[in-house]
A and B are shown apart, each in its own frame.
Chain A
């Protein structure tokens, strides 16, 4: 492999194509992180609920997701989604691989972050609940005003790590036809009968993104540690 091969394959057009695809990877990861936080928070509150049924639902969700490969979940949602809506609502849609993919990754992330949320919420001192009670706040006001802001501080470092995981996981969407960073490298590889060069470029781009994020994560972690 030579520098010549790089120059020949990585034309500015192809570099643009890969950068655009990398931005899709980032967008998918952001959507999955936001959706996953909502799902994770919901399932964490269900797990801590007094009601056995709610706890049961959350447990089933977490166990199914953690017990099966993510690639399978993505394919199942992509292929099974339209079948389910057709049989339930007589509604057929052509699945968009980006949307379905982001939803699948969000569902997956939600299950993994359930434990994260639960332990962070439970790590907040019991006295905070008690003090909130004595000033008249109800359960949800206490959650929102007192518990979550404190839990959030503890969650932030592992949560940024979760974003890195999602960024990498988004590459699995190549299996359902979403042209994210990895898939763009494969397309360029097929066009030029050379996979190694675009795959190496993709490696570099993933690393630039993940290392940048963890650099800021460490900085943030230090800042948070100071304010304690």
Chain B
């Protein structure tokens, strides 16, 4: 579905992503873990062209993404959820959801709104359709952001630390929505520090350090039978559930 081949990205002298290849297949739930500064965000952002890789190729459904041109059309059915939500503050929740389908997808307004209401119900927020983002709690904002990504009829949704900016009591509601998506068969790739979520929901866990995938495997392999010293050190430092 998404195939990244030998992707590298530098920032000055820093090799944020160092020759990483990653193939996301339909129905997979991939969790990407690793220490802070290891290149997780840069990697997931490269998969949506939010960072342009210095080298390497990205294929979406076998079609090569052309970063030199406006690549948004090719990535239209790849959703993205940000750590800081990035909702549009001057638009209502409903408008946040319908803007993409109406402006970019050419969907008629009535139909876009119907879909948006359905998706808001799915994340439990249909009563907030006319609210502005500033009137929502962090957890609600992130659920709206997930609904906005779902409005793109995505084949896969990428998440960059979706719960890291949330108060602890709101993390659960967002993870629950994500778990439901996973249960329904949606393809997800999630950068996360929530080891409990990764262990329960992931079909494959990647451990990233120094811009490279150091180890990958099932949750059982990664969490209970880590091979590399770096992963063992990392796991000993994070609190796990």
Binding site for B on A (CB under 8 A): 125, 127-128, 130-139, 141, 145-146, 149-150, 153, 228
Q: How distant is B62 from chain A, measured CB to nearest CB, in Å?
A: 20
**CB < 8 Å neighbour of B88 from A133, A138, A146, A228:** A146
A138 to B70, Cβ gap below 8 A?
yes
Contacts of B50 in A (CB 8 A): 130, 133-134
B84 at the interface (CB under 8 A from A): yes
Listed A/B pairs (20) with beta-carbon separation below 8 Å: A127-B86, A130-B50, A130-B86, A131-B80, A131-B87, A132-B88, A133-B50, A134-B80, A134-B149, A135-B152, A136-B72, A136-B100, A136-B104, A137-B103, A137-B104, A138-B104, A141-B103, A141-B104, A149-B90, A228-B134
When C-beta atoms are compared, the residue in chain A nearest to B100 turns out to be: A135
Binding site for A on B (CB under 8 A): 48-50, 70, 72-73, 75-76, 78-80, 82, 84, 86-90, 99-100, 103-105, 134, 148-149, 151-152
Q: How distant is B162 from chain A, measured CB to nearest CB, in Å?
A: 13
**CB < 8 Å neighbour of A133 from B72, B87, B151:** B72
Cα separation A128 to B82 with both chains bound (whole Å): 11
Q: How distant is B102 from chain A, measured CB to nearest CB, in Å?
A: 10
Q: How distant is B188 from chain A, measured CB to nearest CB, in Å?
A: 15
7 tightest A-B CB contacts, nearest first? A135-B100, A136-B104, A131-B86, A134-B80, A127-B86, A136-B76, A149-B90
**CB < 8 Å neighbour of A137 from B78, B79, B100, B151:** B100
B90 to A150, Cβ gap below 8 A?
yes
Contacts of A127 in B (CB 8 A): 82, 84, 86
When C-beta atoms are compared, the residue in chain B nearest to A133 turns out to be: B72
Contacts of A149 in B (CB 8 A): 90
A128 to B99, Cβ gap below 8 A?
no
Contacts of B79 in A (CB 8 A): 134
Cα separation A132 to B89 with both chains bound (whole Å): 12
B70 to A136, Cβ gap below 8 A?
no
Contacts of B99 in A (CB 8 A): 135, 137, 145
Cα separation A125 to B149 with both chains bound (whole Å): 19
Cα separation A145 to B102 with both chains bound (whole Å): 12
A136 to B87, Cβ gap below 8 A?
no
Contacts of B80 in A (CB 8 A): 130-131, 134
When C-beta atoms are compared, the residue in chain B nearest to A153 turns out to be: B90
Cα separation A150 to B88 with both chains bound (whole Å): 9
Cα separation A150 to B134 with both chains bound (whole Å): 14
Cα separation A134 to B80 with both chains bound (whole Å): 6
Cα separation A149 to B88 with both chains bound (whole Å): 10
Contacts of A145 in B (CB 8 A): 88, 99, 103
When C-beta atoms are compared, the residue in chain A nearest to B77 turns out to be: A136
Q: A131-B80, A131-B82 known; 10 other A-B pairs, CB under 8 Å?
A: A127-B82, A128-B86, A135-B151, A136-B103, A136-B105, A137-B72, A137-B103, A141-B103, A141-B104, A149-B90
Contacts of B86 in A (CB 8 A): 125, 127-128, 130-131
Contacts of B78 in A (CB 8 A): 134
Cα separation A127 to B81 with both chains bound (whole Å): 11
Q: How distant is B74 from chain A, measured CB to nearest CB, in Å?
A: 10
Cα separation A141 to B104 with both chains bound (whole Å): 9
Contacts of A228 in B (CB 8 A): 134
